[in-house]
Every structure is written in C-alpha cells, then in structure tokens.
Amino acid sequence: MRNNYLLALLSAFLLWFAWPPIPYTSGLLLVAFIPLLIAIEQIARGDYKKKGRKVFGTAFLTGVLWNTASIYWVYNAMNAFLPAGVSILIALIPFCLGPLLIALAFRGYYALRQKNQILVSFLGLIAFWVSYEYLHQSWDLAFPWMTLGNGFASTHQLVQWYEYTGVYGGTVWIWLSNIAGFLLFWQYRAKVAIYSNRMLGATLAGIIVLPIAFSLWKYNSYEEHINPSEVVVVQPNIDPYGKFGRISPNEQLEILLRLSGEVAKSNTEFFIWPETAISSSQGINEEDFRAHPYYEKIFDFLNTYRNGNVLSGIESYQTYSSQRTITAREYAPNMFVDHFNAAVLIDQSSKLDFYHKSKLVPGVEQLPFGKALSFMKPLFAHFGGTTGGYGSQSEPSVFYSQSGIGAAPVICYESIWGNYVAQYIAQGAQFIAIVTNDGWWGNTSGKDQHFEYAKLRAIENRRWVVRSANTGISGFINQRGDIVQHSSWWEPTALTQEINLNEDLTIYTQYRDWLAYVFLILTMLFVILLIIRRTSQ
C-alpha cells in the first residue's frame, strides 16, 4: 500500500509542476495522472479489504496535495482579514472540497471498473471528472480555479481550439492522453496484450500530436480584423490592507486621474480602472452618484477626450423601502441597504451604467446557500454588514460607449468562468475589461495564475482582454492569447494600447459549455447503471 501512496504523491507533484505559472511544463499534464491510475489499478487487483475506501483515500491524497501546493496563496489572503476559525473553515472550500469531489469521481470509476470493461470504466471516469468540474463552477461553493483545462494557460499556443470547446476540451484531452499512456504502460509491465501495443502507441501519439498540430496551425494563421480602439489601463498600486487608513478615497481618485492623463491620447476611448477604485468608507449611493464630487471630477477629466469613457470598479449600494433581496440589510425602520462590488461606466453624457458582480467569493463576499444557512450570518458581522453578503445580479450586462463600443465589465474572480464571460460576448461585447484587485494575495503565484487564465478567455471568444489590477498584473492580451503588454507587480503605472474590436462569435461563445453537457448526460447514465446493478444484487 505504501507504494500506492508514493505513486499518488508522484501524480500530485507532476500536476503541481505542470500548473501555471511555472512556464513550459504544462505538457506534463498529459501524463501526470498515470502514476495515480497505476495505484488505483493495483488496489483494484490487489488483496485488500475495503478497496473502495482505499481508492477514495488515494485519489483524495493526490487531489489535496496538488490543490494545496498550487493555490496555497488562498489561505494567505483569508488569514490576513478573517478570524482564524472562519478562515480555516472557508479554506476548506478550495483546499478540501475539490479533492473530495475528485475522490468521488475515482470512487465512481472503481465501481464501474468492477462490472464493466476497462474502456467503459474510463469513459465513466472522464464523465465523472468533467461533472465534478462543472458542479464546482455552478453551485454556491464554486471554485473553478483548478479546472484541468486551465493548466494550459501558460502555453496557450497549444490550445487555440478552445474557441470550439472551452477549457473542458483541455480536461478531456488530458484524460484521453493519460488513459492511453496508462494502458500502454500497464500492458508492457504486465506483459498481457489486451490491446495491440502498436495501436496504443499510435493512439497516444495521435491524441497528443494532432491537437497540438491543429492548434499551432490555428495560432500561426489567425489574423485579427482591423478595428482599432485606444484603451488605457491604470494600476494605482494602493495597498488594499490600508486602503482607508493610509490614503483617503479622494487621494486614490487623484492618483487614478493623474496616471490616466500621463499616457492618454486625444483619441483614447476607454480608461479602465481596477476593482473598487472608486470608493468611500460607506460606499457610493448609486442613485446620488451624479451629484457626488468624485463623479464631477471624472466628468471634468473626460472633457479632454472627445470619445472618452471611464470603466471602473466601484463600491456602491442601493437603498430600498422593503427587503427586496436576501442580501439587503435593515439599517433603519423601513430602510434597507444592499451593498455591491460593482463596475460603473461614466461617459460625457448624463447616462450611468452599473454592473453588480455576480460570481461572488464563497464565504467572503457571499454566504453559500444563503437561505438555508442564514443562521451563520453572525459569523460575518465583523465585516460591517457588507462582506459575506454582497448583492449581485444574475446575468452579465454589457457597457456601451456613446460611440457604440461594447465592453464586458468582468470583476476579479468572474474571469475564471469561461461560460459567464462568453455571455457578455454573446450580448455584444467587443472586448473584455477585467477589473481586479489581486493585492490581497501578496506577491504569490495567485496573481500570476489569475493573469494567465485571462489568456484563455481571449482564445475562447477571440476578444482582446484589457486588464486593470490594483497592484498588478495589468496588461493587454490579444485575440490569440498573446500578452502584448503587461505591468510589473507593485508599481503605480498606466499602459496604453490600440486594440482591435471584434464582433464575430466563436463556437464556444455561441454554445458555451456544450462539451460539459455531453459528459453530464453520460454521468447520469452511468449513475443509473450503478444504481440498477446495486439494487439487483
């Protein structure tokens, strides 16, 4: 059994070593699961009691070590502004919940393996895994950061076909390669030819080479339609842990305006400012924002730029006379307030557009399963009644400039959801504007992973990504996923770039997670099969 644990450790190491932001290693994902599959097969064939539990435990070991090594920075952020007990509880979501679902996928595979041919069982494993990833992007405990297809973010040249499949195509590719590699190795070791070794070798080579060859052809032949727009991204570099103690909101705004003006051109159309760039200690009332001094300063700044628009993160709120939403809190008789992590578009007209962040961080920005777990709200009381209970909107909305340019206002964590970002594009967004504050994580790999993942959104939708991050990394990514410009970490700066707008819709934009839906159907069929066989025994 010790040998099986060592194999599980080897898979965990390979998965971590292949994961962004480590460069040039993502190809290891195509073989990283082979040691774990060998361990699972040895358990299935070995003389063990309670084999199902051993399969579960071995897979969980790989998952928890891989996840913890890759996203250790999550706890770094939580521990900084959450009480110790709460931070440990919330940390279970990224560190343990994903590995538990991974272990369940392998447990389901083992159940199929007992009664079915190995190829049928492997099809079930792929289906269970894709279903786990889809669940982990869809429920209130969502954390799709570790979706396997994200692992190719550092080598985006190899996955240009994400414009058809999204990241789930990468997940399936990884599993097909690992399964073929495992079968080839197992037959060679066991000296039993269930399938032709030559056929398996050719299959493995085809699985690896053909998608890469197609992707490289697509990468080198792709040409953007020339439809230019001048955009500025600003990185004010304001320490998020001392945002109101060390610098006033007005000083923050002055920094944003100064940096914007230093690089702006007369034809600049968009100024992109980071998450919560416009803020105050109490938040900004959306209904009264036009009368706010901050709005007047921004409006005056835009007078210099005929087609200029400011797209900025903002901490805002709305007031109601009744509790319209579950997140609204009563602060006076018949007066309720809903706080938002939001984005706003300000132009030279009297029009104001707000977007309320939808994909909220579980436990930090929202209470998971809020209605069922409303009794836990006192745990978040120390956040002043906002964090742990932000309001949101259910669907994305596009910001349109006076000249008709559509921008997708994607706030921080939302950029991990390929299907959600694609909804902006389907509604008419011609480029993706990510506003974020990765300063909470410090100078860790979290900020680099977040920036790298944005390349996948560019490929899926064939849209430029312009990214404004408070402390970095800010930059521009073209429609092939190439980083055209980027800032350094922890420096105040602004960048300007002429981007190409695009109106064409990719297959992925139109049908989004269609590949996941195929495997969800297969999962349901396999679960029904397992239930029928269990009840018939």
Asked whether residue 525 carries a pLDDT value surpassing 90, the answer given is yes
Asked whether residue 124 is domain-assigned, the answer is yes
Write the pLDDT tens digit of every residue in 189-220. 776 666 778 888 999 999 999 999 999 999 99
Asked whether residue 185 is domain-assigned, the answer is yes
pLDDT at 211: 98
* Residue 384 pLDDT grade (very low, low, confident, very high; cuts 50, 70, 90): very low
Residues 16 and 109 in one domain: yes
**Residue 158 vs residues 170, 215, 220, 480: alpha-carbon distances, Å:** 10, 5, 11, 11
Residues 369 and 460 in one domain: yes
Residues 125 and 234 in one domain: no
pLDDT at 231: 98
Asked whether residue 246 carries a pLDDT value surpassing 90, the answer given is no
Asked whether residue 378 carries a pLDDT value surpassing 90, the answer given is no
Q: Is-contact 376 400, C-beta < 8 A? A: no
Residues 215 and 351 in one domain: no
Asked whether residue 201 is domain-assigned, the answer is yes
CA nearest 136: which of 178, 100, 176? 100
Write the pLDDT tens digit of every residue in 459-475. 999 999 999 999 999 99
Q: How far is Cα 288 from Cα 108, in angstroms, rounded to an integer?
A: 55
Please report which helix (H) or strand (E) contains residue 285, including its range: strand 284-285
In which region does residue 501 sit, left (phi positive, over 0), alpha (psi from -120 to 50) or beta (all else)? beta
Asked whether residue 324 is domain-assigned, the answer is no
Residues 23 and 164 in one domain: yes
Residue 293: CATH number of its domain? 3.60.110.10
Read off the pLDDT of each residue in 363-382 and give the average, rounded to a whole number: 54
Q: What sign has the CA pseudo-torsion 506, 404, 437, 423?
A: negative
Task: Please state the pTM of the whole predicted model.
Answer: 0.93
Residues 347 and 408 in one domain: yes
**Residue 132 vs residues 142, 331, 396, 484: alpha-carbon distances, Å:** 11, 40, 24, 34
pLDDT at 383: 35
Q: Tell me the three state secondary structure of residue 494.
A: strand
CA nearest 383: which of 366, 404, 407? 366
Asked whether residue 190 is domain-assigned, the answer is yes
Read off the pLDDT of each residue in 21-41 and give the average, rounded to a whole number: 96
Asked whether residue 293 carries a pLDDT value surpassing 90, the answer given is yes
What's the first-to-final CA gap in the chain, in angstroms?
30
State how many domains the chain has: 2
* Residue 239 pLDDT grade (very low, low, confident, very high; cuts 50, 70, 90): confident
Q: In this structure, what token pair is assigned to residue 460?
A: 């899926």
Q: Is-contact 364 86, C-beta < 8 A? A: no
Residues 525 and 499 in one domain: no
Residues 232 and 188 in one domain: no
Write the pLDDT tens digit of every residue in 129-158. 999 999 999 988 889 999 999 999 999 999
Asked whether residue 325 is domain-assigned, the answer is no
Residues 191 and 303 in one domain: no
Least confidently predicted of 228-237, 373-382, 459-468, 486-495: 373-382
Asked whether residue 514 carries a pLDDT value surpassing 90, the answer given is yes
Residues 287 and 408 in one domain: yes
Mean pLDDT computed over every residue of the chain? 90
Residues 296 and 400 in one domain: yes
Q: How far is Cα 319 from Cα 109, in angstroms, rounded to an integer?
A: 51
Asked whether residue 289 is domain-assigned, the answer is yes
Higher pLDDT pick, 241 / 386: 241
Q: Is-contact 129 168, C-beta < 8 A? A: no
Domain housing 118: 2-222+516-536
Residue type, 33: F
Residues 218 and 240 in one domain: no
Write the pLDDT tens digit of every residue in 59-108. 999 999 999 999 998 876 665 555 555 555 566 667 789 999 999 999 99
β-sheet bridge partners, residue 35? none
Q: Is 37 exposed, middle or buried (0-12, 13-18, 19+ CB in 10 A)?
A: buried
Asked whether residue 376 carries a pLDDT value surpassing 70, the answer given is no
Asked whether residue 390 is domain-assigned, the answer is no
* Residue 416 pLDDT grade (very low, low, confident, very high; cuts 50, 70, 90): very high
Residues 6+ apart with CB under 8 A from 193: 187
